[in-house]
Amino acid sequence: MTETLIETKNLTVNYGLLSALEGVNFKVKKREIVGIIGSNGAGKTTLLETIAGQLKPKKGEIKFLDEEINKLSILNRRKLGIFLVPQNENIFPRMTVLKNLEVSSLYNSKSETEELIDYVFELFPILKERKKQIAHTLSGGQQKMLAIGIGLVTNTRVLLIDEPSIGLAPQLVTKVLETLKKINKDMNKTIVLSEQNIKVLKVIDRIYGLEAGKIRFSEDIKNLSENEVKELYLGKID
Amino acid sequence: MKNLYKTVGTIIFIFLIGLIFLFIGGYYKWLVGYIFLWIIQGYTAWFLYIKCNQPFVGYSVTMGIGAYGTIILSVVYNWPIIIAIILSVFLSMIVAILFFLSTSRAKGFYVTMVSFLMAILFPKIIDATREISGGRSGLYFKGFDISENVFFILILLITILILVFYSWFMKTKIGQILTLISENDNLTKAIGINTFRYKILAYGIAGFISAIGGALYVNYIGFVSSIDLNVFTTVYIAFMPIVGGSKVFYGPLLGVLFIKLTPDIVRPLERYMDIFLGISFLSIMLFLPNGLGPTFEKLFKKAKYTIVRK
Amino acid sequence: MVDGIITGFIIGGVLSLPVMGIAVVYGITGVTNFSLGIIGVFGAFITWILLDYNWVFAVFMGILFCFVIGYILQNILLNRVSEKGGDKNLYFIITVSLGLVFTGLIKVIFPRTNIGLSLPSMGLFTIGGITASGLKFFAFFFAVSVLILLRILEENTLLGKKWVATSQNLKLAKYIGINTKRSFCIASGIGYALAGIGAILWASIYNINLMSGWDLTFMGYIIAVVGGIGNIWGGLLAALLMGMVMSFSGYFLGGSWQSVILYAIVIIVLIVSPRGILGYEKSI
């Protein structure tokens, strides 16, 4: 049984004539938390959206458990077990918190849905408090939590999350990232995050650095000494 | 530069065709005159709907006001035809501007919809006032007391004048501002231009010229009824620049020819005309979004390339 | 006076069906579909042709036709446009062209273009001291039940919930695994079916001709704009209101002026409240 859950080989994606991703080789193993770090416009969202099926690559392969999925629709990739939590517009604005979670759990049985929603409420008690509140009236941070909750409730094998901490207050950033680590441990769920915030180093197993559409480096966090981590922190990543 | 050639070329082409058929005479001369009248409408749609990007599709109404205004004022109230025309044209201009004012707060698409509804409504009003307007039976009109050929030349000259006007106007400062507005209304407002006034001007011009076309129409054909100015008419007019290719100056001309000549060429299949045109519009929108003109240009270039290679 | 109110309710009830068709289609797929009325009328023509066999069968086939056409058109044509971004002007041009095609088809296929449907009379009913043919009451109550049914569909069925999700966030709906293409097709089918029912009712109370499809679309959109496009409740309310207006203006001014008054009302509403009376679109 392969260890690799998702793999891209020589992935190239264009926006019109502009190259958004070029020759990207990227790998995610089962039960890992992988971080993709890069500044604005580096191509993080593009990479995640291409894996999820929203964008079509010009060249290259995407593989899920060693099977090529380039031709699969978003719907079929979801059925395989890939879900992307978008950076924004990531909730159903005029539904209540509870409804948001219920509808997203459409592939699960009633009991599974209940369990998953309970888990989400355990992780994010504030969502439980506001379960009857209309989603778009939640604060930015709460909406982020709901978006991640939606991702959880789909119970997919791999959760792709586009900049989970963007726009959040600093304490919230830490909380959200640590919650993701907890989810990874509790549910053995593979998680791929894209981030600009260096705090992400604390929770991930491996890191990819993306700049101007190309992978600049990839490191195993545990293989890095503390100094190297600091270097990454200050130097390589802009 | 290329564009200038296309523009001038189109205008010269139309002028020459007019002269040629003036001498050929007969039915074909009449047909060419008829086409000119639709060229006026088609280019007005090109001006307002495409170039100025204003979501208005009620051209049958502006044309209708020109036509009915002329005929009613001169026949029913016995005013001199010229005065009737001038008044109708100004009425149409006012109606267009009023329409803009009343829908200016609404979103772009609502405006399209309401102008379309106005076009559906217009024949109903004609039918409702049938004692004056003739309703579906229509009204007959003798028109100007001049020879057929002189009138034909008049139409030719007015059409050429209108085309020259539209092409010149877009290059003036006002025209350039309208182009800015068409590309990004909010940004244009932000840099301090009163877009409102310019849009009023655009609607006014469109109403004015379309009504001139309508007045000429009723003089040329000698008859108008509510059936001539129904929803299909406005749809055909609005589609003329789109079908022919809105990015080239000869596009609307191609559109006019396609929409108005086809029924004539395939007389026996007249029954199927709506179906044919509807399907053509769909196909062009889906497969040739740039219109017929640029598609022919591409094919022409490919042909040239293959010939050169050989 | 009372007669006027009754007529108003009936007209409103019948018209509310195409309006709800518009609301369903726009609310869920975002398509402003100008062919709803014409294809609905085509369905009524189909019912007319089959009336000799069995009226239930005829009505059923008419409605089924509309649903199927709606499903297919959304599938092969309109979904393509949605994928490319769903430009409203493009929808307008495409659906108007469809309307042209179907108007032409009516001309070509059916022997007459001016028909009335003579559905079996439901006898005369007297409700609250007012007597009218059963069919007319039926029209009104049917419209209200459709509205309630749609609401129930939305809240309680999986399909309804999928629709609501799709209309609120298309991208996210796809990510969570909703087959948005199919949801659109079903919504489109239902929208056309509603328009078809409206056309059939209209044809049985009054009669219809080639241009009726455009008229129904016209009235449908006028009412929809007033009620706020996509808003089902607003649609029904506006339909009843407009029904009243039509009934009374018809009485005082004569039939042809009804549409003029309606149009004037739309303009006034748009000036005062560009988003419709209830102030918002897409309530789904």
Between CA A233 and CA A227 the distance in angstroms is 9
**Minimal Cβ distance to C164: which of A78, A83, A95:** A95
Inform me whether the pLDDT recorded for A161 exceeds 90: yes
**CA distance linking residue B59 with residue B48, whole number of Å:** 10
In angstroms, the separation between the Cα of residue C178 and the nearest Cα of chain A is 7
Out of A93, A99, A154, the one facing C176 most closely (by C-beta) is A154
User: Which class for A172: exposed (0-12), middle (13-18), buried (19 or more C-beta within 10 A)?
Assistant: middle
Query: CA dist B251 to A15, B208, C247, Å?
Result: 30, 22, 46
Q: Which of C270, C271, C272, C281 to mutate to test the interface with B (most CBs of B within 10 A)?
A: C270
Q: Least CA distance to A99: which residue of chain C?
A: C161
Whether residue B109 and residue C222 make contact (CB cut-off 8 A), yes or no, is no
H or E segment to which residue A14 belongs: strand A4-15
Phi and psi of B56, rounded to 5°?
-110, 130
CB contact under 8 A, C169 and A94: no
Strand partners, A34: A192, A206
Q: Measured at the alpha carbon of residue B276, what is the angle toward residues B291 and C86, in degrees to the nearest 5?
A: 50
Determine contact: B121 vs chain C, CB below 8 A. Answer: yes
The answer, yes or no, to whether residue C124 has pLDDT greater than 70, is no
Burial class (CB in 10 A: 0-12, 13-18, 19+), B65: buried
Between these two residues, C128 and A15, which has the higher pLDDT value? A15
Q: Which of residues 156-175 of C touch A (CB under 8 A)?
A: 158, 161-162, 164-165, 168-169, 171-172, 174-175
Q: Output the average pLDDT for chain A.
A: 89
For residue B193, what is the DSSP state?
A: -
Mean pLDDT score across all residues of chain C: 81
C72 touches chain B (CB under 8 A): no
Comparing A51-55, C149-153, C167-171, which segment has the lowest mean pLDDT? Answer: C149-153
C129: left (phi over 0), alpha (psi -120 to 50) or beta: left
Of A130-134, B152-156, C1-5, the poorest mean pLDDT is in C1-5
- Answer whether C177 sits within 8 Å of A103, measured CB to CB: no
Mean pLDDT of A2-27: 88
How far is the C-alpha of A33 from the C-alpha of C217, rounded, in Å?
54
Check if the interface score ipTM surpasses 0.85. Answer: yes
The per-residue pLDDT for range B89-111, each reduced to its tens digit, is 999 999 999 999 988 887 777 88
Mean pLDDT of C142-150: 82
Look at residues A95, A194, A79, A101 and name the one whose alpha carbon lies nearest to residue A147.
A101
What is the arithmetic mean of pLDDT over C150-176?
87
> For residue B229, which amino acid is it?
L
SS3 B41: helix
As a whole-number percent, the residues of chain B with pLDDT over 90 amount to 51
Q: Which residues of B touch C26 (CB under 8 A)?
A: none
Q: Residues A163-186: pLDDT tens digits? A: 998 888 888 888 899 999 999 999
- Whether residue A78 and residue C176 make contact (CB cut-off 8 A), yes or no, is yes
Q: What is the distance in angstroms between the Cα of C166 and the nearest Cα belonging to chain A?
A: 9
> Contact B232/C34, CB-based, under 8 Å?
no
Q: Nearest by CB to A92, from C169, C174, C179: name it.
A: C169
Contact (Cβ atoms closer than 8 angstroms) between residue C35 and residue B116: no
Which chain B residues have a beta carbon less than 8 Å from that of C257? 128
Q: Would you call C274 an interface residue with chain B, using a CB distance cutoff of 8 Å?
A: yes
CA-only gyration radius of chain C, Å? 18
- Give the residue among B37, B86, B72 at the shortest CA–CA distance from B224: B72
| Closest chain C C-alpha to B88 CA, distance in angstroms | 20
3-class secondary-structure state, position C233: helix
Q: Which pLDDT score, from 0 to 100, does residue C163 have?
A: 87
- Residues in B closer than 8 angstroms to C99, CB to CB, are 278
Contact C179 A54 (CB under 8 A): no
pLDDT value of position B152:
92
CB–CB of A150 and C165 under 8 A?
no
Task: Say whether A91 and C172 touch across the interface (CB within 8 A).
Answer: yes
pLDDT on residue C283? 39
Q: For residues A137 and A95, is the Cβ–Cβ distance under 8 A?
A: no
The token duo for B261 is: 């000549």
Of residues B62, B117, A189, the one with CA closest to residue C216 = B117
- Over residues C139-155, the mean pLDDT reads 81
Give start and end residues of each alpha helix (H) in C124-255: 134-156, 158-168, 170-175, 180-205, 212-227, 232-253
Buried b (16+ CB within 10 A) or exposed e, C97-124: bbbbbbbbbbeeeeeeeebebebeeeee
The pLDDT assigned to A180 comes to 92
Class of domain C2-118+134-272: mainly alpha
Q: Which residues of C touch B277 (CB under 8 A)?
A: 100
The contacts of residue A2 (CB under 8 Å, 6+ apart) are A65, A66
- Report the residue count for chain B: 310
| Tens-digit pLDDT profile for residues B121-169 | 899 888 888 888 888 888 888 878 888 889 999 999 999 999 999 999 9
The average confidence (pLDDT) of chain B is 90
A179 with A123: CB under 8 angstroms?
yes
**Which among A92, A84, A120 has a CA at the least distance from the CA of A194?**
A84
pLDDT in tens, A175-224: 899 999 999 999 889 999 998 877 888 889 999 988 888 988 888 887 77
Among the CATH numbers 3.40.109.10, 3.40.50.2300, 3.40.50.300, 3.20.20.60, which is that of A1-81+189-238?
3.40.50.300
**Interface A:B, ≥3 CB–CB pairs < 8 Å:** no
Which of A45, A100, A103, A105 should one mutate to test binding to chain C, selecting the residue with the greatest count of C CBs within 10 A? A103
Q: Which of C101, C252, C280 to mutate to test the interface with B (most CBs of B within 10 A)?
A: C101
Asked if C5 is an interface residue toward chain A (Cβ–Cβ < 8 A), one would say no
**Nearest partner of C218 among C258, C269, C268, judged by Cα:** C258
pLDDT bin (cut points 50, 70, 90) of residue C284 is very low
Put simply, the answer to whether B124 touches C104 (Cβ < 8 Å) is no
Interval A133-143: pLDDT, tens: 999 999 989 99
Instruction: Establish, for the pair of chains A and C, how many residue pairs have beta carbons separated by less than 8 Å.
Output: 57
Q: Given the structure tokens 């170039």, which residue do they identify?
A: B51
Among C241, C240, C237, C224, which residue's Cα sits nearest to residue C282?
A: C224
C25 in B contact zone (CB under 8 Å): no
Q: Is residue A94 a contact partner of residue C165, using CB atoms and an 8 Å limit?
A: no
